[in-house]
Structure 1
Amino acid sequence: MTAKTQAESSREGRSHYLYGVVREDGGWTPELAGLGDAPVRMVREGGLTALVSDVAGPRVVPTRTHLLMHQRVTEAVVREHTLVPVAFGTVLPSEERVRELLRVARAPLTRALSELEGRVELGLKVYCNGDALTRQLEQQQPGLARGASEPEEDHEARLEAALRDCTLKDLDGLKAGLRPLAEATHEAPPLGERMMLNTAWLVDRTRVAAFEARVTSLVARLDAYTFRFTGPWPAYSFVDVRLDVEAADSATP
């Protein structure tokens, strides 16, 4: 039996917090601090590498600090490496269980890494200033003004229909202008009354600057909207891999 290193001995009894999975790369070692300032390290198995750090127990409380640390680690990795991110709070009880998880999910993880190779996620949310858009439409279309004998309800209905048509046209034009620079897009339901568009875009890392420039160019023409452009992020919106932690736990005695 080989002697345990001091680091291995100190990890006995501690759980392993999982940030994500990358391809095995013998030339790269992460120099990152994870939850609780524990160093992020690698667990390798079958051509895959899990990025983990030690935590004290089987669960991690979703505090703002913990969430930010998880986010910072994954963001730092995705700047230069293809990453299959995992959900916050994924904890396994031992290094062997981490390896077993990689063995159990090897096929879908390998497929996901191929699909995400060299790509990152960018977020774009669009909010509408209804009053500004109404004023803009009334200037462009004098016929939208309320007639002298027109009931208020009818006028409001006409305005709402015109606003819907205008918003749909504007957003369709925005998406059409961005699609040529993206590999894929994911549209989630808007949040709140003012949000009109809630999208994620899968973009090759080499085209991020061009995509951002295109966003800037397109939104400059849409004065009645507010935009929130974020990223690059790990491609959470484009990962369809379910890591069965319980299966990994039961597969290894």
Structure 2
Amino acid sequence: MKEENGIYLFGIIRSEEKESFGPVTFDEEMTETYTLQFKEAAAVVAPVSKRIFTPNRKNLTAHQGVISGMMEREFDVVPVSFGNVFRSEEDVNALLENLHPELVKLFPEVHGKIEVGLKVTAKKEWLEELTSGNETLTAQKKRVDAKSKEAGYFDRMKLGEMAANLVKEKREEVETDIHSKLESEAVSAKSNEPSGEKMLLNGAYLIEKEKEETFDEAVNELHERWKDKVDFHYTGPWPAYNFINMKLKVEN
């Protein structure tokens, strides 16, 4: 049976010239990147066998490597999430034509800008200190410990709610002190839903590339202030994933 081929889409850049970002390998299959043009919009693509792409570490790294190559060459990048495969070049060309009015507006918005991310996670020791220092929560824990598993069911539920409320308070504190400060330094900012019980902030920030050093300094200052209580996971630079909302749909 003949294997069906498709066109993998990495992202869209502003360029009227044919571009290449070198070879890329997915699942041991090496292929070459190139661009498909529509006016000043160029889709960065590669021919692949059409299949479901597994988001394993190697494949994700390969995808991000091509995106990084676009950024290193200082193109205005509209990124596309991992695993988007189209049936043909014609479909990608149709997509570019459909999206062109939106891209004309987007390119200036992302020009000279990068996205950085900051995840703030509470240290276990700090949470334990907060818990032990909360008289109401400590008293509730004693009630739970004094009862059998069955008899203490509702008390355990209440204890869980109290602990969740304590974390919520700290999230609001971090939102006010850390996120608001960084938001004032950014072109745009988003506070995404935290993942995990100990995460207090999952922030994304769109910043001017030329002001990256100033933003880094603001992050470092905040880390110095909070380092005994939380861990910072600061990432980037990325293209503006959190600040672009486009539907990759080919009109029939």
Whether 1:231 and 2:222 are equivalent positions in the alignment is no
Kept in 2, the 8 Å contact 1:58–1:93? The answer is: no
CA distance in 1, matches of 2:61, 2:51: 19
Q: 1:94 to 1:217 in 2, by over 3 A?
A: same
* Residues 134 and 163, structure 1, Cα contact 8 Å, conserved in 2: no
Greater strand share, structure number: 2
Say if 1:219 and 1:151 are closer, same or farther in 2 by CA, change over 3 A.
closer
Give the secondary-structure state (helix, strand or coil) at the position aligned to 1:34. strand
Shift of 1:68: 1.6
Which residue number corresponds to residue 84 of structure 1? Answer: 78
Identity %: 27
Q: Does the residue aligned with 2:70 lie in a helix, a strand or coil?
A: helix
The change in CA–CA distance for 1:88 and 1:159 in structure 2 (over 3 A counts) is closer
Q: CA deviation at 1:103?
A: 0.6
Pairing 1:21–2:12 present:
yes
Report how many aligned residue pairs link the two structures.
Answer: 227
Alpha-carbon distance between aligned partners in 2 of 1:101 and 1:194, rounded to the nearest angstrom: 41
1:184/1:39 CA distance change after superposition, 3 Å = same
Map 1:93-242 onto structure 2 (within 5 A). 93-132=87-126, 135=129, 146=135, 152-153=139-140, 165=169, 168-222=172-226, 223-242=228-247
Q: What is the CA deviation profile of residues 20-68 of structure 1, one whole-angstrom value per residue up to 9, with x for unaligned ones?
A: 1011243x73333224332211111122100011112254343432222
* Cα distance change, pair 151–181 in 1 and its aligned pair in 2 (3 A): closer
Residue 20 (structure 2) aligns with = 30
Structure 1 residues 130 and 117: CA distance shift in structure 2, 3 A: same
Question: Offset at 1:132?
Answer: 2.1
SS in structure 2 at match of 1:216? helix
CA 1:127 to 1:62, structure 2 compared with 1: closer, same or farther past 3 Å?
Answer: closer
> For 2:122 and 2:192, how far apart are their aligned partners in 1?
17
- SS of residue paired to 1:193: coil
How far does the alpha carbon of each residue in 1:179-204 deviate from its partner, in whole angstroms, 9 at most, with x for none?
Answer: 23211111111111110111111111
Q: Distance in 1 between matches of 2:165 and 2:91?
A: 57
Q: 1:217 to 1:57 in 2, by over 3 A?
A: same
Structure 2 counterpart SS, 1:38 = strand
Name the CA shift for 1:169/1:73 in 2 (closer, same or farther; >3 Å): same
Alpha-carbon distance in structure 2 between the residues aligned to 1:158 and 1:96: 57
CA RMSD of aligned residues (A): 3.0
Q: How far apart, CA to CA, are the structure 2 residues paired with 1:82 and 1:15?
A: 25
> Aligned partners of 1:192 and 1:59: how far apart in 2?
28
Q: What is the TM-score when the length of structure 2 is the normalising length?
A: 0.78
- Whether the 8 Å contact between 1:17 and 1:90 is mirrored in structure 2 is yes
8 Å contact kept, 1:134–1:159: no
